[in-house]
């Protein structure tokens, strides 16, 4: 079996990949802390900000690296730009330098584009307008300038966390409605979400094929955050009357956010 290093194994995507691929690959997984639901046989706590990447690669000897680890809280990145640049950006360079022969797949985001863009393709020029997007763009730059067999995967995932201490968008919707709470979601923010399980299938194809340096991997339809929540509740038999429609302009965030 091929040796694979998965960073961010406590996150929604990382934990999913570890669980799904444990019988297909010899997986070595890292996260910044231990967590419930960890299914990795080879697991190491690793701080992307300060620890020795060379020793990490000596431990895993990976042929493939799936770099899921990131600070994804957009407002936190806005308040902590230096840390965001180190974790979301500089870590890519360190992995490339420490494992020059490994195929590196970097999980990135549509936040690298200007906020007013619509349905961009892989060749569209980046122009992030918040620190989260800038930090991911910085990480992408190392792969773009690298000669190695690596790939940037820009995506927007949805799904449920295996790590019970984390709550994502889907869990927040379900848990709020089950508690009888009204929730307001934006009807003017559009996205093309893909489930973590479907993304896993696409990533496996990328692993086993020669691909361009940049790929956009998304779901098949465009929806608003409100419509997504409404349809999710309807499918699960939850009270759709508790979902309310709102506008992103009515909420003051620390970081600028795209509507598309």
31 contacts 16 by C-beta, under 8 angstroms:
no
For residue 259, what pLDDT is reported?
A: 57
Reported as a pLDDT band with limits 50, 70 and 90, residue 29 is: very high
Task: Compare 116 and 236 and report the one with higher pLDDT.
Answer: 236
- Over residues 62-91, the mean pLDDT reads 97
Strands (DSSP E) along the chain, which ranges? 3-7, 26-31, 42-45, 64-67, 103-108, 150-154, 157-158, 183-186, 190-191, 194-195, 214-216, 223-224, 243-246
**Of 68, 89, 238, whose CA–CA distance to 157 is shortest?**
68
pTM: 0.93
* 33 and 145 assigned to the same domain: yes
- Over residues 165-190, the mean pLDDT reads 91
Question: Domains in the chain: how many in total?
Answer: 2
Average pLDDT, the chain: 92
Cα 44 to Cα 9, 41, 91, 230, 244: the distances in Å are 10, 10, 16, 39, 42
Reported as a pLDDT band with limits 50, 70 and 90, residue 260 is: low
Identify the CATH number of the domain in which residue 42 sits: 3.40.50.720
Residue 255 lies in a domain: no
For residue 206, what pLDDT is reported?
A: 97
Listed in sequence order, the residues at least 6 apart from 80 whose beta carbon sits closer than 8 Å to its beta carbon are 71, 131
Neighbours of 109 (CB within 10 A): 24
What does DSSP assign to residue 123? T
pLDDT tens digit sequence for 131-153: 999 999 999 999 999 877 899 99
Residue 171, pLDDT > 90, answer yes
Listed in sequence order, the residues at least 6 apart from 97 whose beta carbon sits closer than 8 Å to its beta carbon are 53
* 109 and 180 assigned to the same domain: no
* 104 and 20 assigned to the same domain: yes
Residue 65, pLDDT > 60, answer yes
Reported as a pLDDT band with limits 50, 70 and 90, residue 210 is: very high
Q: Which domain holds residue 245?
A: 169-190+222-250
Residue 258 lies in a domain: no
């Amino acid at each position: 079996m091929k040796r694979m290093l998965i960073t961010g194994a406590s996150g929604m995507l990382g934990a999913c990949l570890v669980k799904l691929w444990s019988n297909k690959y010899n997986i070595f997984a890292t996260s910044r802390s231990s967590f419930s639901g960890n299914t990795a046989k080879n697991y190491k706590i690793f701080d992307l900000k300060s620890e020795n990447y060379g020793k990490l690669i000596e431990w895993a000897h990976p042929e493939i690296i799936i770099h899921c680890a990131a600070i994804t809280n957009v407002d936190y990145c806005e308040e902590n730009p230096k840390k965001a640049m180190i974790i979301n950006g500089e870590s890519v360079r360190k992995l490339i330098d420490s494992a020059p022969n490994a195929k590196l797949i970097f999980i990135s985001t549509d936040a690298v584009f200007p906020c007013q863009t619509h349905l961009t393709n892989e060749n569209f020029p980046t122009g992030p307008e918040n620190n989260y997007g800038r930090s991911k763009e910085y990480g992408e730059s190392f792969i773009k300038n690298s000669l190695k067999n690596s790939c940037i995967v820009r995506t927007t995932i949805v799904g449920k966390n295996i790590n019970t201490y984390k709550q994502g968008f889907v869990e927040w919707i379900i848990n709020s409605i089950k508690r009888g709470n009204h929730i307001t979601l934006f009807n003017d923010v559009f996205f093309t979400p893909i489930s973590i399980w479907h993304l896993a299938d696409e990533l496996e194809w990328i692993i086993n094929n020669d691909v361009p340096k940049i790929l956009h991997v998304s779901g098949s339809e465009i929806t608003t955050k409100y419509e997504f929540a409404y349809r999710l509740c309807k499918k699960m038999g939850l009270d759709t009357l508790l979902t309310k429609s709102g506008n992103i302009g009515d909420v003051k965030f620390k970081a600028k956010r795209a509507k598309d």
